[in-house]
Amino acid sequence: MNKNLKKILLGLSLIFISSIIIYPIFLMFRISVSNPSDIFKPFTEKSLFFNSDGLTMEHWKNVYNSGLLLPALIKSLLVATFVTLIAVIVAAPAAYVIARIGNKKIKYLFIVSLFISRVFPEVAIALPISVRFLSWNLIDTNLGLILAHLIRVLPYVGWILVGTFEAIPKSLEEASFVDGAGRVKTLINIIFPLSLPGVSVAAMLVWLESWNEFTYALYLTVTENTLPLQTYYYINRGGIFNSAAYATIITVPVIIMTFVMQRYIKSGMLSGGVK
Amino acid sequence: MDEIKKRGCEKMKYLKQYWLEILMITPLFVYILGFTVMPVFTNLKNSFIDQRYGRRYDILTSKISDIKYDIKNSQNQEEITEYEKELAIAQNELDNLKKSDYSGFTFENYKKLFQTRDFRKGVFNTIAITLTGLLIQFIIAMSIALLLTNEFKGKGFFRTIVLTPLGIPTIVSATIMTYIFDISGYLNVLFYKLGLISEITPNWGQGGWLSIFMVVFADTWKVLPLMVLLFIAGLESIPKSVHEACSIDGSKSWYKFFTIILPLMKPHITIALILRAIDAFRIFELPLILAGTATTPVISTFTYMEYDRQNYNLSAASGTILTIIILIFVFSYLYVVEREKGEEKA
């Protein structure tokens, strides 16, 4: 009896937790395909799950036809892709060097400085950056936003990749030296292929971070919105259906990538701590 | 003399040996120096400049550079003399400004901050959101992590569900939460269906503890997976023999949790909570979008609003205070991690 009760309690709590986690995502999708008559009902008649007036693709058509989706989508895609490329090119070599530093104290210092530059509040950095970018004519440009996103992203990639490179045994390099390969050659032929899985996971995380980024975009944009900013714009104007559609669009690549990466993600990677 | 030469030689040797490493590491740290460290110090500097001086200075310098640009691109001699007159006036104004009482070092911005009601409210809200958030997230995440140590059917599926919000962008979670916490939103609908409220609905965005709860709920939904992952890692680090010894003793599971598991997990918990506190203090999108800055400012949204009103120096002061708080957290985090390492060795 006691055991059965326990089982039921366990099942109930699992269902309770799962529904709280899933419901908001369901709601977002549901609103984006609902008729206004369902959503704007007086709240005593609203249903939590079901639409009495059926579904509609109207809002998706509106979003597509408004002419605002494509520029925002392209800007977000371009910025995220370039941020990823530059971040990996700049941070991977540095991470490799940090991973190979023999002196423990110096190494610790480098890692801590990456950690600290990651946790500075954005609102404090974005102000001087936006003033500076204004005089450099970088407001509202892709380049400006790429440079700003790199601020957030570079220490993060560097920090993840230090772990990746540390996992590659040093003996492999030494063997390559013994075989007479130079340092540059060893890097390209031995280290680079071995680190590729770790680098790709880091690249995906960076891409997502830039894709989702809001604060710097808010500071550095006047008219050329990214997808998150476009969503914010609709929230401010009370455009509930448009914001739901935009939010869904932002979420799709995120969910795909998260499922791809789930096997490789370790808790430490995301928290950004020093271990 | 020889000594210096020798040292120089050693430096050269060092450079020759490590040129590749130095080449590889420099770009990253130059970027961090230029685009993170420098802005932080610029902010610090700006926070000690009087607002009246700072704004006037910005206007005048941009005006001067505009006029200079015009002079460069103008062909007409008459126009140029006209511009030069303007330039002289602006330059003169700038010189006067530099001599004025406002110029120079001042604590005015910080004084003003603490006299501003919104900033004091922001500090209170930030602390309230951090503390209640940490407490709630700790309890729920720990419960889920403990649930996940049990073996049951569909555990993998449940784990996937719990981890789902991990990938959901903050802007998206904020968007959805506006639907849920709207005055005729779905939380109130649920409360109505459960018979908890009648026609009069709580307005979650009105400020005070209701809004704090709203932000905490949204934040919790988003960060719970991360906390669960950290706690699972902590639970897994406890040796199996400890669990077995407990079950042989026949001790009650609650007793076991509080006397054995919790103390053993203390390092993991401390680290997770400090990391969360750092993030909670920087919280920006959720309060901005959900509660707005009028009723529920937090330090970061206050900083943004002052920027939006072009009170750059006041914004800089508020940003600097936030930076200092974060740095205190970071160093306490590093201190804790170091101490744990020391204990492990001993």
- What would the mean pLDDT of B107-130 be, rounded to a whole number? 89
B59, B179, B203, B331, best to mutate vs chain A, most A CBs in 10 Å: B179
pLDDT reported for residue A77: 92
The answer to whether residues B328 and B312 touch, using CB atoms and an 8 Å cutoff, is: no
User: Got the DSSP string for B149-189?
Assistant: HS--TTHHHHHHHHHGGGTS-HHHHHHHHHHHHSTTSHHHH
Interface touch B40/A125, C-beta < 8 Å = yes
- Residue B81's pLDDT band (cuts 50, 70, 90): confident
- Mean local confidence (pLDDT), B78-93: 81
Average pLDDT, chain B: 82
User: For residue A131, is pLDDT > 80?
Assistant: yes
Share of chain B above pLDDT 90, in %: 14
Q: Which whole number is the average pLDDT over B205-212?
A: 82
Enumerate residues 67 to 126 of chain B having a beta carbon within 8 A of any beta carbon in chain A: none
Mean pLDDT lowest among A110-119, B149-158, B247-256: B247-256
Mean pLDDT, to the nearest integer, of A69-89? 91
CB contacts, 8 Å: B163 with chain A: 258, 262
Chain A interface mutation, best of B16, B35, B44, B318, highest count of A Cβ atoms under 10 Å: B35
- pLDDT single digits (tens) A21-37: 889 888 888 888 887 77
Q: Do residue A128 and residue B184 have CB atoms under 8 angstroms apart? A: no
> What mean pLDDT do residues A244-262 have?
83
In this complex, do B303 and A251 lie within 8 Å of one another by their Cβ atoms? no
**A123: nearest CB among B154, B312, B319:** B319
Residue of A47, A91, A218 lying closest to B28 (CB–CB): A91
Q: Residue A171 burial by CB count (10 A; 0-12/13-18/19+): exposed, middle or buried? A: exposed
The answer to whether the Cβ–Cβ distance between A97 and B21 falls below 8 Å is yes
Contacts with A154 from chain B: Cβ below 8 Å: 28, 31-32
CB contact burial B236-261 (16+ within 10 A = b; e otherwise): eeeeeeeeeebeeeeeeeeebeeebb
The mean pLDDT value for B280-292 works out to: 88
Task: Report how far apart the first and last C-alpha atoms of chain B are (Å, whole number).
Answer: 48
Contact status, residue B325 vs residue B278, Cβ threshold 8 Å: no
Chain B contacts of A8, Cβ < 8 Å? none
Rounded CA-CA distance B214/B287 in Å is 9
Q: How far apart are CA A95 and CA A220, in angstroms?
A: 29
DSSP, collapsed to helix, strand or coil, labels residue A62 as: helix
Residue numbers of B between 207 and 226 with CB closer than 8 Å to A: 221, 224, 226
**B304 vs A contacts (CB less than 8 Å):** 123, 218-219
Mean pLDDT, range B152-181, rounded to an integer: 84
pLDDT averaged over every residue in chain A: 83
Residues with Cβ within 8 Å of A60's Cβ and at least 6 positions away in sequence, in order, are: A32, A33, A245
Q: B326 vs A31: CB contact, 8 Å cut-off? A: no
Query: Per-residue pLDDT tens for B328-343?
Result: 988 888 888 888 777 7
Q: Does B164 touch chain A (CB under 8 A)?
A: yes
Q: Are residues B160 and A112, on separate chains, in Cβ contact within 8 Å?
A: no
- Supply the pLDDT for residue B4: 62
A143 — pLDDT class (breaks 50, 70, 90): very high
A120 shares contact with chain B (CB less than 8 Å):
yes
CATH of region A67-274: 1.10.3720.10
Question: B233 vs A267: CB contact, 8 Å cut-off?
Answer: yes
Confidence of residue B129 (pLDDT cuts 50, 70, 90): very high
Does the pLDDT value for residue A215 go beyond 80? yes
pLDDT of residue A83 exceeding 90, the answer is yes
Of B23, B278, B315, the CB nearest to A119: B278
Question: How far is it, in rounded angstroms, from Cα B301 to Cα B283?
Answer: 8
Residue A270 pLDDT greater than 70, yes or no: no
Domain edges within chain A: 1-56, 67-274
* pLDDT at residue B11 is higher than 70: no
Least Cα distance to B306 among B295, B317, B322, B291 occurs for: B317
Report the range of poorest mean pLDDT among A44-53, A129-138, B287-296, B325-334: A44-53
Mean pLDDT computed over B238-247: 70
Q: Do A244 and B168 touch (CB under 8 A)?
A: no
Confidence tier at A268 by pLDDT (50, 70, 90):
very low
Whether B232 and chain A come into contact, CB under 8 Å, resolves to yes
The pLDDT of residue A273 = 39
pLDDT at B344: 63
Region A139-162: mean pLDDT is 90
